[in-house]
Amino acid sequence: MSIWQQLFDYGFSQRALLAAGLIGFVNGYLGGYIVLKRSALFAGGLTHTLFPGIALGALVAGLNPYSALFGAVGMALLAGLGSTGIASVSRIDRDTALAILYTAAFGAGLIALERIGTYVNIENYLFGNILGVGNTDLWFVYVAGGVTMTLLILLQRPLLLYVFSADAAASQGVPVQWLGHGLAALLVVNMVISLQAVGAILTLGLLIAPAAILYLFSNSVRVILWGGGVLGAGVSVLCVVLSVATDVQTGPAIAGVFGLIFLLAFLASPVYGLAALVLKRYQMRS
């Protein structure tokens, strides 16, 4: 049986392709704002709260899609809002506060995991299992992805003002605090719908890499946002095909391929890559 037959004749692989494309697009687009705001570290901290959230949810209500969903969302919101709150009333900055909160949560998650002893099943949430996406999961993706894209497109102008300079944006009447919280909330929602595709840990790569790659080439925000979406969708779909053909896991494949593309972009970009630097040196000498 050819790969193409395997891909299109079975429901599970059709669902996987659809989910990968949608999740990849939304992540790549949303990631543009995270890269522009230089919040990758904050986003990385949040991804580390998903797993302990799932573990604690499983301890309370058993491991199922709903306990995983509410556990992950709850823990990420708690850590995100908690660290933002701590930073706003004390001299501790947000990244420092989040680092402590998420490691504490991770510790609690590991202890919870030992109590429930279902490591094998939780692995799907850690590293993703897109070939196991069900119809319910797909509905989550439709709704969350649709809401996210609608909001991001509707609020594109104030968001752009905000990520460029919060002070200047506020002086133009943009409600920067609400935008900041809103962006963090969308981030959490998208990390959770990405769990199925790439898992709790690897979701950061799918979020950050597409925009970071385009950032090495383009001086247009539109290219970085929409291009990030297209790149995210393309690589994700490609990796589903790859994993059906070669039996490699999809999540790790996505993270790995993005790492490779980023490295190539960094080396070869004639605008902001190593190649540009070498070229400039060479031109100066001659």
Partner 1 sequence: MNAGKHDNTATTVPAAGPHRLEVRDLHAHYGRVCALRGVSFETTCGRAVALVGGNGAGKTTLMKAIVGLLPGTEGEVRWQGRAVHHSIPEIAYLPQRQDLDWRFPITVRALVEMGCYAHLGLLRGMRLADHAAVDSAIESMQLGALADRQIGALSGGQQQRAFIARALAQEAHVLLLDEPFAGLDHPSCETLGKLLGKLTRQGRLVIASHHDLGNVDRLFDEVLLLNRRLIAFGSPAEVLQAAALKEAFGA
By beta-carbon proximity to partner 1, the closer residue of 36 and 46 is 36
Least CB distance to partner 1 at residue 24 (A): 21
d(CA 195, CA 175): 31
Give least dist CB 170 to partner 1, A: 5
Nearer to partner 1, 168 or 245 (CB): 168
Q: How many CB atoms lie within 10 A of CB 185?
A: 17
CB 99 within 8 A of CB 47: no
Instruction: Figure out which of the listed residues 221, 257, 275, 276 binds partner 1, where binding follows CB under 8 A.
Output: 221
Nearest to partner 1 of 151, 275 (CB atom): 151
Cβ–Cβ under 8 Å, residues 169 and 176: yes
Cβ atoms 240, 12 nearer than 8 A: no
Rounded least distance, CB 13 to partner 1, Å: 37
Residues 153-182: x/- map of binding to partner 1 (CB under 8 A)?
A: -xxxxx-xx--xx-xx-xxxxx--------
> By CB under 8 A, which span of 76-84, 117-125, 215-223, 262-270 interacts with partner 1?
215-223
What track of x and - describes contact with partner 1 for positions 19 through 48 (by CB under 8 A)?
-----------------x-x----------
CB 79 to partner 1: min, Å? 25
CA distance 110 to 122: 12
Q: What minimum distance in Å lies between the beta carbon of 172 and partner 1?
A: 5
Q: CB atoms < 10 A from the CB of 116, how many?
A: 16
CA 190, 194, 199, 204 dihedral sign is negative
Nearer to partner 1, 118 or 150 (CB): 150
Nearest to 108 by CA among 71, 82, 77: 71
d(CA 186, CA 80): 12
Contacts 24+ apart (CB under 8 A), 73-79: 73/188, 73/189, 73/192, 75/49, 75/50, 75/105, 76/46, 76/49, 76/50, 76/188, 76/191, 76/192, 77/185, 77/188, 78/49, 79/45, 79/46, 79/49, 79/105
Q: Tell me the number of residues near partner 1 by CB under 8 A.
A: 24
Nearer residue to partner 1 within complex by CB, 11 or 173: 173
Locate tokens 């919040």: which residue? 39
CB closer to partner 1, 108 vs 155: 155
Binding string, 61-80, against partner 1, x = CB under 8 A?
--------------------
Query: Site residues (CB under 8 A) for partner 1?
Result: 36, 38, 154-158, 160-161, 164-165, 167-168, 170-174, 215, 218-221, 224
